[in-house]
Amino acid sequence: MDLSILWYLVPSVIMTACGVYGFITRKNLIAMLVSLELILNSADLNFVIFNRFLFPGSMEGMVFTLFAVALAAAETAIAIAIIINIYRSVGDSDIHKVNKMKF
Amino acid sequence: MDFIQSTDYSQFVSMLPELIVLGIFVIVLLADLFAGDTKKSFLTPMTAVLFLLGTVAIWIVPASGESIFGGMYVNDTMTNAVKAILNIGAFIVILQSAKWVDREDVVIRKAEFFELMLVTLFGMYLMVSARHFLLFIIGLETASLPLAAMVAFEKRHYESHEAAIKYILTAVFSSAILMVGLSFVYAFSTGSLYFDDLARVIQSGEMSGLLIAAIAFVIAGIGFKLSLVPFHLWTADVYQGAPTAVTSYLSVVSKGAAAVTFFVIFTTCFGGVYSDCWEWMMYAVIIATITIGNLFAIRQKNMKRFMAFSSISQAGYIMLGAMAADGRGLASMIFYIFVYIVSNLGAFAVISTIESSTGKLSMDDYNGLHKTNPWLSFTMTLAMFSLAGIPPFAGFFSKILIFTSVTGTGSMALYMLVLIALINTIISLYYYLLVVKAIWISPEEPKIGAFRSDNWSRLALWICVAGIVFFGIVPFIYQYCVDSVSASAGMLGLLN
């Protein structure tokens, strides 16, 4: 049985939605970072799907995905480093402890 | 096949501005590595002089006008002019950070500060020159990730960490949203992410839900970098918590690069659906940006937060150039960025010298400043007048040029937009003059004693004052922007 493009796109959309929802609702910095990774990976997934199904002759989406994965790794590395800094100075990675500056 | 031809490595020579910045980066890195554990007092002058030479080289050497790597990257007079202008901003930031990087808890990492700054500048260059979405994304990330490290630079200050986590999370969120939008763009392309190829596909009148969603996502993604309302919520906290040198860098240089990139993407790539789609999105965003930025700036007491909201509303004015979406709009946008760089950095140079000498940041501390520090008061006043747009300072001319470029399109709706922007200029006058009032009119005794700022800051202040006074009056600067844009108009495929 051939799977149509929808079988791949729907999980990707669900991943995006979960990522945005998680980013807004989660209170832990690490959990927020995981949600961000979900959005980034769903974008990568989109690129691969569109490349595979719509433009099977070219490679542009795949190449974009390769670079995007590397960029996502770099983003995570810096974010983790900053979260460690926060943990050292606050003793917690709860977002409610990081609210000294407001309005 | 484009990519087979592009294995010609001599093409890298066309990336002259990038090579210059990378060269300076390598020199600073090696000097830092091999200089030993001394205080490295030569590092700041060395970086500043090298950077100045590089800036002069970018000004002097004419752009090759080539597009290389199969058209991914262009080096034309417009991008060269933008890079040179960003360089001037970065140079002033180096000067004004010279005292801060010698503070005892920072001095051991002072070369890192310059290195990170040069890397972000390299990313901004790529962003401005990119004509392909892959190179654009790489440039955007290269520009914004080291900035997070720069925001977190003051290890011993809690505020710096809080600002950094807020910055990195929103930056990653925005670039994730941007990538999702780009994947939608990819879906209706012909399998290519070149701006030119996309422009051929996205024709006027052919609207789909996917295209609207894609454009909205891309606006959101770049809007985060530009801190347009409703994507501005990180701005005030990050500006307040970051070291002052980084705040000034964030508020002018990174914003200027993002604005020009926004213009290039939206006129070349999405230019076909200008009036169908994104004109109205940007219309709403600009009105919200200018108004909300102004209204929130009124109630701020911390000078850095105050400058944050002021820079939000200034970003709205900058984006007016994108509404004009023609060569004149781009020229006045570049001119506005140039004037905004000197005016905002003038204000930030005063704030940072006062902060590094006395540690005071509140607007109430500025009461009666003219009795003790008349020259700083004078500079601050000029910067505020220029930001508010009072003639004969440069800010007046940049505002009038960007307004006329928008009204020059002849659209009634855009006339209304300019009217709203004008009304907001009057509101902004109120809060900019609050600072001037605190400095000159407030009868209280000054809280800041007389001090002499270091020579680096004085040089930065002098450059900013010269810029504020002369950029408007000297017609050469605007003419330079117009010439550089019109010389590369063919490459941009501007809307007419």
- For B165, which of A50, A63, A82 is closest by C-beta distance? A82
- Distance (Å, whole) CA B405 – CA B393: 19
Chain A residue with the nearest C-alpha to that of B194 = A60
Task: Please give the tally of structural domains in chain B.
Answer: 1
* Nearest-by-CA chain B residue for A33: B169
Q: Do B159 and A40 touch (CB under 8 A)?
A: no
Instruction: Assess B363–A contact: CB distance below 8 Å, yes or no.
Output: no
Q: What is the pLDDT of residues A65-75, one digit of tens each?
A: 999 999 999 99
Tell whether A15 is within 8 A of chain B (Cβ): no
Tokens of B160: 């710096």
State yes or no: pLDDT of B5 exceeds 80. no
Q: Which domain holds residue B481?
A: 2-492
CA distance B49 to B43: 10
The sign one gets for the Cα dihedral B26, B29, B34, B40 is positive
Residue of chain A minimizing CA distance to B174 = A36
Given this model, what pLDDT does residue B409 score? 83
Q: Which residues of chain A have pLDDT under 50?
A: none
| Contact flag B162-A102 (C-beta cutoff 8 Å) | no
CA atoms within 13 A on the CB side of B173: 23
CA B179, CA B167: separation in Å to the nearest integer?
18
Task: Taking each helix axis as running N to C, give the angle between helix B43-60 and helix B110-129, from 0 to 180 degrees, rounded to the nearest 10.
Answer: 20
CA distance A49 to chain B (A): 9
| A22-59 burial code (b ≥16 CB/10 A, e <16) | bbeeeeebeebbebbbbbbbbbbbbbbbbbeebbeeee
Contacts of B180 in chain A (CB under 8 A): 16, 39, 42-43, 46
C-alpha B33/C-alpha B374 separation (Å) is 42
What burial class does residue A13 get, using C-beta atoms within 10 Å of its C-beta: 0-12 exposed, 13-18 middle, 19+ buried? middle
A99 contact residues in B (CB cutoff 8 A):
162
Give the pLDDT mean for B216-241: 92
pLDDT confidence of residue B327: 87
Reply yes or no on domain A5-90 having CATH 1.10.287.3510: yes
| Residue B239 pLDDT > 50 | yes
- Which residue, chain included where needed, has tokens 């001319």? B397
Please give the pLDDT value at position B1: 43
Q: How many CB atoms neighbour CB B426 within 10 A?
A: 11
CB-CB under 8 Å, B186 with A85: no
A64 at B interface, C-beta within 8 A = yes
Closest CA to B251 of B293, B295, B299, B300: B293
Q: Give percent of chain B with pLDDT exceeding 90.
A: 63
Q: If you search the block for the tokens 């994304």, which residue do you land on? A: B137
Please give, one letter per residue, the 3-state secondary structure of chain A: CCCCHHHHHHHHHHHHHHHHHHHHHCCEHHHHHHHHHHHHHHHHHHHHHHHHHHCCCCCHHHHHHHHHHHHHHHHHHHHHHHHHHHHHHHCCCEHHHCCCCCC
| Residue reference for tokens 């230019």 | B271
pLDDT digits (tens, 9 = 90+) for B354-396: 998 888 889 889 998 999 999 999 999 999 999 999 988 999 9
Note the pLDDT of residue B61. Answer: 86
- Which amino acid, residue A63? V
Per DSSP, helices labelled H in B251-326 are 255-264, 279-298, 303-324
Inter-residue contact B334 to B261 (CB < 8 Å):
no
- How far is the CA of A13 from the CAs of A19, B184, B226, B373, in angstroms? 10, 11, 27, 59
Asked whether B102 and B110 are in contact (CB, 8 A), the reply is: yes
Of B308, B348, B469, B338, nearest to B95 by C-alpha is B348
pLDDT exceeds cutoff 60 at B495: no
The structure's pTM equals: 0.94
**Annotated domain spans of chain A:** 5-90
The answer to whether the Cβ–Cβ distance between B169 and A68 falls below 8 Å is: no
Chain centre distance of CA B81: 14
**Cβ neighbours of B196 in A, within 8 Å:** none
**For residues B219 and B278, is the Cβ–Cβ distance under 8 A?**
yes
- Count of Cβ atoms closer than 10 Å to residue A99 Cβ: 11
B179/A43 touch (CB, cutoff 8 Å), yes or no: yes
Q: Which residues of A touch B182 (CB under 8 A)?
A: 43, 64
Compute the average pLDDT of residues B98-120: 91
